[in-house]
Amino acid sequence: MARRRGFGEVERRKSARGEVTYRARYAMPDGTRYSRTLSTAMDAEAWLVAERTLVDRDEWTPPRARIAAEEKRKAEASSNTFGGFAERYLTERGLRPNTGRHYRHLLDTRILPYFAVMPLSAVTLGDIKTWRAALGPETESTNAAAYRLLRSILTSAEEEELIDRAPPKIRGAGTARVKKVTTPATFDELAVIVEGMPVRLRLFVILAAFVGLREGELLELRRSDIDGLIGRVDIRRKIDKDVIAGAPGACPNCGRSISTPKTAKGIRTVHVPPPFLPMLQRHLLEHAAPGIDGLLFPGERTDHMSVRYLTDQYRSAREAAGRPDLTIHDLRHTALTLAGQHGATAAELQARAGHASQTAMAIYQHATADRDLKLAEAIGETYERWSRSQNEK
């Protein structure tokens, strides 16, 4: 039975399973009725009192509209926490798959456990210093990456005027000491490695060790990117090696994601040292996939080569050379060391490597394809002298 009162009424209700609830309801002057079911009579009475107060203050709006407004307010409040904004930052930036996964890991393991529920405007330099001090010193490189991401998120919040100003930078927090110093490969070691590779992969080692191409760039090179007469190589694309099949931009045959280099500076033109032009030309004739868009290093089904197969072949070759420490990426370090030894300026190294650098930007623009060709010729001359000395032994 409903119990009437000055404003509205409360009705005790019992379900078939014996559960008791209380429905509070009232009518507005236009005859529209509003109700709410609550678990206790006290809660039902309190709701009616609150509704009557809103009517008396001329602040009443339909309960459903108020619920929607409250949900919207909570959503906005959530987006103004560090965690809420960080999620939006991650989804709205159009990140590459690998970068997105890396940022996700940094957020989940390093940043959000400390900052997730903190309002953006409440994050201070002191908070950041305390957070950074709590990170384990054994993961220095990861800690530096986490700090860079944290800074980027806060800077974006400042740009969107969600905070007045991002906290000041902590000098050196975004960099980590280099723990591993790579020893470049010698010509003798490279000769053993090349000889130990399958014939169709020998050029792969040459382009990594003497030109400085990245593994992902090499795996996506096509006939149309190569001028076999002068040894010019245009770097326009790369593959993301661990992207899931079916992802946007994925190769239909292998599931790999094909994208442009990570930065605009990665799009570049480099040259093969002249002594290796016969190998390049022979490779184009005998090992590259057919057609103008045929891959330079195809897999067995003319799609991209398996990274596992490449790594297995390379591992055996480097061990034969006595360099079990030399990764495929270290071959690129060898190439850039050679370029530096042959007089490459900082700008020319930036151009040949495809690195972006704010500090080198001014001189970077003076690097030209003609100078890169001269560098390749100088490296080639040094290699030819070494080769002649080997033949004379």
Positions annotated as catalytic residues are 214, 329, 332, 355, 364
CB 263 within 8 A of CB 356: yes
CB 205 within 8 A of CB 318: no
Q: By C-alpha distance, which of 101, 114, 144 is closest to 241?
A: 101
Regarding beta strands 232-235 and 226-227, do their DSSP bridges make them parallel or antiparallel, or are they unpaired?
A: antiparallel
CA angle, 274 then 280 then 282, to 5°: 125
Cα dihedral angle (195, 201, 207, 209), rounded to 10 degrees?
Answer: -40
CB 343 within 8 A of CB 378: yes
> In whole angstroms, what is the distance from residue 32 CA to residue 35 CA?
10
Alpha helices for the chain (secondary structure H): 41-56, 63-79, 82-92, 97-106, 112-115, 125-134, 140-159, 187-196, 202-206, 215-219, 277-286, 307-320, 328-341, 346-353, 361-364, 369-392
Residue 133: both structure tokens together: 């001090």
> In whole angstroms, what is the distance from residue 118 CA to residue 350 CA?
40
CB 189 within 8 A of CB 322: yes
Residue 166: both structure tokens together: 């991002």
> In whole angstroms, what is the distance from residue 150 CA to residue 153 CA?
5
CB 83 within 8 A of CB 116: yes
Residue 278: both structure tokens together: 């016969």
CA distances (Å), origin 340, targets 180, 255, 268: 20, 37, 18
